[in-house]
Structure formats: C-alpha cells, structure tokens
Amino acid sequence: MAGVVAPPLCTWLVAACLSAACGDAGKEKQLRRHGGAMFGSSRRGRAPGARCRGARSGGIPMAIALHPERGAVESKKPDIKQRRVVVTGMGVVTPLGHDPDEFYNNLLQGVSGISEIEAFDCSKYPTRIAGEIKSFSTDGWVAPKLAKRMDKFMLYLITAGKKALENGGITEEVMNELDKSRCGVLVGSAMGGMKIFSDAIEALRVSYKKMNPFCVPFATTNMGSAILAMDLGWMGPNYSISTACATSNFCILNAANHIRRGETDVMLCGGSDAPIIPIGLGGFVACRALSQRNNDPAKASRPWDVDRDGFVMGEGAGVLLLEELEHAKQRGAQIYAEFLGGSFTCDAYHMTEPHPEGRGVILCIENALADAGVAKEDINYLRVNSTKSMTGHLLGAAGGIEAVAAIQAIRTGWVHPNINLDNPEKNVDVSILVGSQKERCDVKVALSNSFGFGGHNSSVLFAPFK
C-alpha cells in the first residue's frame, strides 16, 4: 500500500514518537544549529581524501599495504543472497507478561500495562505512572549471586535471552551440538545500568570505599550481552549498540547481517531497558516529555491521539533468536517468520525533533525495502507506535517487543488494536490504523520502524516463511 511510505505519513510517524509536551519543550530551541552543524565543524591535518603511503620507524621507511589483493578478497566474499535468516525463538519481559503468547494475547485484548509506580516514592513528581513490571523473578534464569548484583536491565536481558532460547527449542542437548564460535549475542540498551550508576554516586558522597566494586562493569550497556554470552559459552560476535529508542532494531539488523554475511549461524538480538527509577523518571520529567494523566493511567498512553500529553515510560526486554535457514532446518526448528532486511539512516537535523519533511525516515524505509527486495505495495502491516498504547515506551527495548508483536501477527493472523485512539490527529490516515478492537490480517510483509533521539532511524522487515 503506497500510503505506508508516503512523505506526509512518514513525517507524522516520527512525530508520533515524541509527545506533544516534548514538542513544546523543543520550541525553546536551547540548542541552535550553526553553519549546518549543531556544534560547528573544522578540518585539520591532511587534506580530505589524502592517504598516508608510508611510515617511518627508526628512520627506516616502512611500506604499508593499504589494500590486500582484491581478487583474493572477492573470492572469499560469501554470497549473502544464499543465506536466508529466520526467526526461531522469541523472549520477552514486559508489563503485559513474560511469555510471547501471554504478551501478545494481552495486546489482542487491549489490556493496559500502565499503572501507578510502586518501585519508589514518586509522590513529589508530576508524573507518577509508568509501564512498570510488578512481578518478575530470575529464578532458574540467572545465578542468585549475580542476580543480587546486576542492574535490572541486565536481568531483563539475560532472562529474555534465555527464554528466547527455550522458545526456540535450544535444549541442553542442542546447545551441546552448536558450534559456539558461530553463535553470537547482540542485545543493546538505551540507558544501561542507570540504577547501578545512581547508587554508586550516592555511595561516593560518603566515600569511594562504599562504592560497589561492580558499579563500572555492571553500569555499561555492553555487559548484558557479555554476561549472557559467558553463560552460554557463545564465542561469536558479542557487543551492544545504543541508539536511543532505535536500539533494538539496530541490534536486530546487525545481528541478521552477521548471519547473512556468513560470519555466524545463530544470533540472540534485541534490546533491554530499566529506566523506571528516580533519575530516569526525573530526567524525562525535566524535559517535559511525560504524560501527567496520573488519575487515569490506562488512558495515559495515546499514540496518534490529539489529546495526548506526553509519552509513558515502560521497562522490559525483547529478544529474538535468529538463525541461518539451513541451520534451523537441520535441527528441526520451528520457524516463526523470515527476516527480509532493513536499514538505518540519520536525520542529521536535531537531537530530539524529527526532520519536518521526514527525509531521514523516508530514506530509511526506501533503503530497507531495497535491501529486502520488497515493493512498498507488498507491505500490509506497519509497526511503529501502537504497542506503546498498552506497554508504554520501553526506550531501547521498544523495537524488540514490537518485533515480537509483528512476528506474532504473522503467526496468528491477528493484529492488535490501538487503545486510547479516540480523537486522531487530522494528518493521520486512520484507514491504515487498527481501531479499538483486534483485526484479522493475512500479513504479507511486516515493517517495524523505530526512531530515536539523535535522529536515529531504523526499519526492519519480516514476512511469513515460505
């Protein structure tokens, strides 16, 4: 359907990721653009395009080979067209449940996971609601010793990752047969270990001797992926990408590309965040981004609705198990969907405001379609914001759980509703939005978009496996 990627809609889809309140804050323009760059620019050193042809060591000229023999490189380059990527497992930790089916059934029923915050006293904050996880246990998923020390974002990540393995039929027997040098973990976080870092600052006010010796490693965003890989013994690509609210999609596409290029056969990928703590809530309150509909939490998150007054914070994790097709077939895995492709772009415009003409988003979607070999008319399911009406905005984990929702729509033939869409914005084409009740849909291609502060745009596509 051509309307999906038409410029007016794309522009509005980006704007929908920001609240009306945050939009007002943006008008203050605290950061100005100068000379085409936010902080200006300068060029020093060699002229653009100049190359260093040699180096000296002890006064002896040393030749440096800038390019290996091209023929040798090209002969080793894998044929990525022959390596298809499929989804064989899903794991979630969300305000609507910690199982992919429970999570999606609640979405289909229009259940809201938004409620009053209970983790700490927020009575003095103007916002006192969130998509908070009320009940969560690491029993059987994380070693008790580690569970006591880790930040929640790491606990959510490891739990969701292991649940994805379980959901994908990776039993102990299968695990023992895997070539672990060709298995990797790429799960990111927008905020990282905020609670660990915040606690360390409070301890430092007394003395550095009071600080948690694990505060540095457990606050970094990469450590969740690292610990999960250590636990599994997976020795393939292992790192974390942080691109604000686009984090999960960046991780999913990069993980898929490792498989497509022939570097790995199996990847765990997605995102995790646990920002519902005083500093997290306070930070978003300070920039006037959050809804203050405290008396009616279930109605607070209102994507595309003219009466929205900000977004609602959420927490959790969404992780996919991706596999090379033949690898999945060989072990008899259940295939939930096929990953077709994706793309990233940058608005290069403003820290929080989308480009008014949606240039970066349009380019991202067009590039994703080209990468996947899909025509825009083939897309009949678009994901960008509707899940947030029930879960709140999970920041770096948002794309992960939204990818799970898209795959579940492919599997079940049901698309979940948008709740709280009582008065749509006039610029929104409501004909392409699901109403207040779930709808039947034979999904041909699902497009999942995520856009983050910093102008980060990401698009990934899934389809039924054929």
Beta bridge partners of residue 87, listed in sequence order:
322, 337
pLDDT in tens, 322-359: 999 999 999 999 999 999 999 999 999 999 888 898 89
Can you say whether the dihedral through the CA atoms of 205, 211, 216, 218 is positive or negative? negative
| Average confidence (pLDDT) over 179-188 | 98
Match 């492709």 to its residue by tokens. 341
Q: Which amino acid is at 28?
A: E
Count CB-CB contacts under 10 A for residue 175: 14
- Per-residue pLDDT, 109: 96
What confidence category does residue 384 fall into, taking pLDDT thresholds of 50, 70 and 90?
Answer: low
- pLDDT tens per residue across span 119-169: 999 999 999 999 999 999 999 999 998 898 899 999 999 999 999 999 999
Instruction: Identify the pLDDT of residue 443.
Output: 94
Lowest mean pLDDT among 21-30, 94-103, 405-414: 21-30
Of 20-24, 68-72, 152-156, where does mean pLDDT reach its minimum?
20-24
Q: Provide the pLDDT confidence category of residue 79 given band limits of 50, 70 and 90.
A: low
Q: Which residues pair with 187 in a beta bridge?
A: 270
CA distance linking residue 339 with residue 322, whole number of Å: 8
Asked whether the predicted pLDDT for residue 302 surpasses 70, the reply is: yes
Residue where the block lists tokens 């360390």: 200
For 97-129, what is each residue's pLDDT tens digit?
A: 999 999 999 999 999 999 999 999 999 999 999
What is the pLDDT, as a whole number, of residue 429? 86
To the nearest whole percent, how much of the chain has pLDDT over 90? 73
Ordered domains of the chain (ranges, CATH): 11-16+85-464 (3.40.47.10)
Percentage of residues in the chain having pLDDT higher than 70: 82
Mean pLDDT, the chain, as a whole number?
Answer: 85
Residue appearing with tokens 């041909």: 444
Q: What pTM, to 2 d.p., does this model score?
A: 0.82
The mean pLDDT of 363-372, rounded to a whole number, is: 95
pLDDT at 11 over 60: no
Give the tokens for residue 174: 């299968």
More confident of the two residues 22 and 138: 138
pLDDT at position 65 over 80: no
Range in 112-121, 190-199, 256-265 with the lowest mean pLDDT:
190-199
> Quick one: pLDDT band at residue 229, thresholds 50, 70, 90?
very high
CA separation for the pair 186, 251 (Å, rounded)? 6
Average pLDDT of span 5-12: 37
Range from 50-59, 163-172, 394-403 carrying the lowest mean pLDDT: 50-59
3-class secondary structure for the chain?
A: CHHHHCHHHHHHHHHHCCCHHHHHHHCCCCCCCECCECCCCCCCCCCCCCCCCEEEECCEEEECCCCCCHHHHHHHCCCHHHCCEEEEEEEEEECCECCHHHHHHHHHCCCCCCEECCCCCCCCCCCCEEECCCCCCCCCCCCHHHHCCCCHHHHHHHHHHHHHHHHCCCCHHHHHHCCHHHEEEEEECCCCCHHHHHHHHHHHCCCHHHCCCCCCHHHCCCHHHHHHHHHHCCCCCEECCCECECHHHHHHHHHHHHHHCCCCCEEEEEEEECCCCHHHHHHHHHCCCECCCCCCHHHCCCCCECCCCCECEECEEEEEEEEEHHHHHHCCCCCCEEEEEEEEEECCCCCCCCCCCCHHHHHHHHHHHHHHCCCHHHCCEEECCCCHHHHCECHHHHHHHHHHHHHHHHHHCEECCCCCCCCECCCCCHHHCCCCCCEECCCCCEEEEEEECCCEEEEEEEECCC
Catalytic residues: 245
